[in-house]
Structure formats: C-alpha cells, structure tokens
Amino acid sequence: MTAIWEIDDGEEEVPGLDADGRPDPAYAARLGLIRAPFPRRALSVLIDVVVYLLVQLPLWLFAMPLVFLYLSGSLSLYGFVTHPSFLLAAIMAGATVLLTLVLGIVQFVLHGRKGTTIGKSVFGLRSVHVAKLGRPGFWRVVLRSIIVAASGLVVVGPLVMVLSPLWDSERRGRGWHDHATRVWLIDVRGGLDPYDDKRMRVARKAAEAAEIAERPGLPSLATSAASGTAPEYRPAARVSAGVLGVARTHADDDAPPVGLPDTVAPSPATARDAAPQVVLGVPTNLRGAPPERPTPRMPDRVESEPAPSAPSSVAPPPIPQASPPQPSPQPEATPPQPGLTPPAPEAASPDASVPPAPPVPPRPPAPPEGVLVLDTGQRIRVAGRVLLGRDPQARADIGDARLIAIPDDTRSISKTHLSLRVTELGVELSDLGSTNGTEIERDGQSAVVAPGAPVLAARGDTVRFGDRTFVIHLSTTDRLA
C-alpha cells in the first residue's frame, strides 16, 4: 500500500541542482549560459535611470519652478493657485506621475516575465531564476527593486550594492540583491537565450543525454573476419583470383597456392568438349605461358593436280594456319569433269580461328537501401546520400545527393536539416547545423547528434529532427522505383 506521503505532489523537478539542492554553475555552463559582463550590466542600469529621468522632465521644467517660488516665499498660497502657469504646471505634474506609473509597471512586468528592461534590451542582458533558469517572477523583481531603493538610506549603500557583483563567491556576477531574490543576470549575445524555448529544450537534452560514441573506423577488406577478436588492420592482398580481396590466414600445411603454376594438364573430356575461353588474351586451359605454335613452311608454288577419275570421299587436308594468320596461296581450281559428282565440302571443324565470345562481366552489387517511416506513416525509400529538410538545397561540401522535402507547418525543421547515407552497417546521420537539432532515440534513451559529426544509427532507431520523427528500417530486398 502506498503511503500518503509517497503520493506525487506535482512539484516540478528542477534539473541542474547539486546534491545539496543548490544551482550547479557547471550545468549552466554546459547549457551555454554566460554571466552578464559587469560593464554592460552597469550601462544597462544607467540607461534605465536615464529613461526614468526623461519621464520626470515635464515635472521639473514646468511644475517645480512654480513650487520653488512658493517654497521660497515669493508667492503666497493664493498667488500660487492663481498664477498663470499653475494650470500648465498641474497638467505637467499629472502627466509625469502617470508616465512614471506606466513606466514602472512596464519595467516590472517585462523584467518579471521576460527578464528584460529597456536598458537590458539595449545591451543584450536577461534576468533569470538562478535555479529554474526561467523567468524570475514579478514579485521577485519588485522585492529586488525595494532592496536597491532601501540601500539609499545609507550614504554609500547604492554604490556598495552596485559593486557587490564583483565579490560573488560563485563567480556568476550576482550582487547582494540578486542573492536575496535568487536572480541571475546573463548575456544572451554571447551565449544561450533561455527565453528561446526551442533552443533551451535542445540545450537541456544535450546536457542531460549521454554522449554518443564516435563512429569506429572501418577495417580494410583484408582484415580478419574472425568473431570475438578485435579488428586488426592488415593491408590488402592479391589472391589467386587476380583481384583485391580478403587475404585470410591459413596454417602452414593447408595454405592454398598463390599465383599460376607452370603447367596444368586439362582432362581429355574437357579438352574435347569445351572450347577454350579467352580471358585477357590467355586461354583458361593454359595456366602457364602459351607455347609458341610453329609456323609451317609454305611451298614456293602450288602445282595443280590432275582431276581424279572417280569421286573421292576424302576432302583435301586444310591448309595449316599460321599464328598470327598470314595470307597463303590458294591452289588453282580444277574444273569438274563431266559425269563426275564434285566432292561434298567438309564441315568446318572447331578451330581457334573462330574467336570465342568475350566473358560477361559480373553485375555490380546493388547499393544498400533503407526505408524511413515518418510519424505520419509515410514511407520513404532512400539509397546513397540524401538531404532532408523543409526545403533542402544542394551543398557543395556534400556533393551529389537526393533532396527530400518534409512538410512542416510549425517550421521546426530547418530548410536543409540533416544528411544521411545508407551503408552496410546502418544509416550514417549528420546534422547540418539545424536550429532545433537532431536526436537519436534507442531503447528509451535519447542522444543529441552534434552538428557536423556523423553518427551511425541502427535498424529500429527513432530519429527526431525538429518536431518530426522517423524510424529507420534497413532493406536488402526492396528497390527504389
């Protein structure tokens, strides 16, 4: 049974606190928050004071001279009221009071909800709650102003209060009034703006998520594929097939021969039934150097033979061909004798004079492909290099890539958000400096992809870019249409 004190009271969990519940400056530094520089902080206060004094000008220019005359005794009360400038002085005094009231409310509301005032906006400063790193709150700002005003009761009080940020033990530039109200002034020009919700959300996830290990270097083709052993690089070797491949290790007694032996005697059946195939000009049935074929000596002239008296079934022997073939003299044709049947021509024997068909090169393997399943259920087949974004554009540093536009009404996806490349090991992702970043979710844990650093995602990983997501499915059978 759950005790009553174990029920969740709905309190918001505040990240970035140490074991004692105090704000951790290291956590704020990981987010990218930078304390406000003291000179700009002093100038922002000066701007707020100058704006306040400008609002008081109507009172001091039109009302206070008449008041001084009355206080000095130059005017009686009746003369003060009936003075020609009394109406103008009253209007200007009322306008000054109204403007001061409006200015004070605007300054307090902006400071409490947005962490800024007129002076802080000019110099790029913001006030935040030191623990929640959010808006400080209206009443905290009011209390802070009351403390600063109360320091004026002492002669050097305002000066000490202004210089107190220099003595901050946490080195965060917080004064005594900041410590009393748990307020911290930060620089949004040089660091992160905590009032940018999207950037703050990405920064918190990056600070809290575990770092993704860098992509391991791929071994060479000659690396041993034995399981259970760490990959060890070995240079590529040339195997007996004549192409670069994997040079596997063998024992001394079972090592296969490398290279071509001197002679290989083909079997009679192979020599009789199969014609030699020529690859790169060398017959496959001859592993050594092809023997030189003797060139027959041709007679100087060919005499015609007398016509035979009877038909002969034996065809004249073929004239031997030289290698390379040379033109040879043909015997004079003998006219057929009357009443005799000319001999039938002998069928052409399979000879090396007919060149064999060239070998068909092997078909290159199809590149690896993958399927991206978007959060809307849409399936996108990808292969090679792909650029995703709201309106992706080609980049010279990436080269040829397929551009895929992802609809996004909230504009949380950058125009060219990320690039991915399908490999045999998975999908290589790279964030291209997007506004809202890229994350990989695996087994309930998420990790932020650092801009420009390629990360290898596996099958089943969920990739979040902006407010959209997709799940990676690797495919070895599907092909792009």
Residue with tokens 């901050």: 168
| Whole-number percent of the chain with pLDDT over 70 | 63
Given 208, 230, 250, the domain boundary residue is 208
Which residue, 138, 143, 140, 111, is CA-closest to 127? Answer: 111
Query: Does 39 reside within a domain?
Result: yes
Query: Does 270 reside within a domain?
Result: no
Q: Which structural domain range is residue 46 located in? A: 25-208
440: domain CATH number is 2.60.200.20
Question: Any residues with CB less than 8 A from the CB of 142 and at least 6 apart, and which?
Answer: 108, 112
Q: What is the mean pLDDT of the chain?
A: 75
Q: pLDDT: is 294 or 112 the higher one?
A: 112
Query: Does 124 reside within a domain?
Result: yes
- Buried/exposed 162-188: b ≥16 CB within 10 Å, e otherwise: bebbeebeeebbbbbbbbebbbbbbbb
Report the distance separating Cα 36 and Cα 168, nearest Å: 13
Given 208, 231, 252, the domain boundary residue is 208
The token duo for 17 is 């606190």
Mean pLDDT, to the nearest integer, of 60-78?
89
Cα torsion at 247, 249, 250, 255 (round to 10°)? 30
**Helix, strand, coil percentages in the chain from 3-state DSSP, rounded to 5:** 30, 15, 55
Report the distance separating Cα 476 and Cα 462, nearest Å: 20
Query: Does 464 reside within a domain?
Result: yes
Mean pLDDT, to the nearest integer, of 51-65?
93
Report the distance separating Cα 152 and Cα 404, nearest Å: 64
Mean pLDDT, to the nearest integer, of 412-427?
88
Task: State phi, psi for 29 to the nearest 5 degrees.
Answer: -65, -35
- Using DSSP's 3-state secondary structure scheme, residue 120 falls into helix
Query: Does 220 reside within a domain?
Result: no
Query: Does 170 reside within a domain?
Result: yes
Which residue, 394, 423, 408, is CA-closest to 470? Answer: 408
Contact 130, 152 (CB under 8 A): no
Contact 62, 85 (CB under 8 A): yes
| Total domains, the chain | 2
* DSSP-assigned letter for residue 167: G
pLDDT band at 102 (very low <50, low <70, confident <90, very high): very high
Query: Does 417 reside within a domain?
Result: yes
Which residue, 426, 442, 421, 432, is CA-closest to 465? Answer: 432
Given 174, 208, 242, the domain boundary residue is 208
Residue type, 208: E
**pLDDT at residue 279, as a whole number:** 41
Query: Does 324 reside within a domain?
Result: no
Task: State phi, psi for 122 to the nearest 5 degrees.
Answer: -65, -40
Handedness of CA 157, 161, 167, 169 (dihedral sign): positive
Q: pLDDT: is 273 or 462 the higher one?
A: 462
Residue-wise pLDDT tens digits, 261-312: 554 455 555 444 544 444 444 444 444 445 555 555 554 444 444 544 444 4
Q: What is the pTM of this model?
A: 0.47
Which residue, 191, 174, 172, is CA-closest to 183? Answer: 174
Report the distance separating Cα 161 and Cα 173, nearest Å: 12
Report the distance separating Cα 428 and Cα 411, nearest Å: 24
Which residue, 65, 149, 153, is CA-closest to 104? Answer: 149
Contact 136, 115 (CB under 8 A): yes
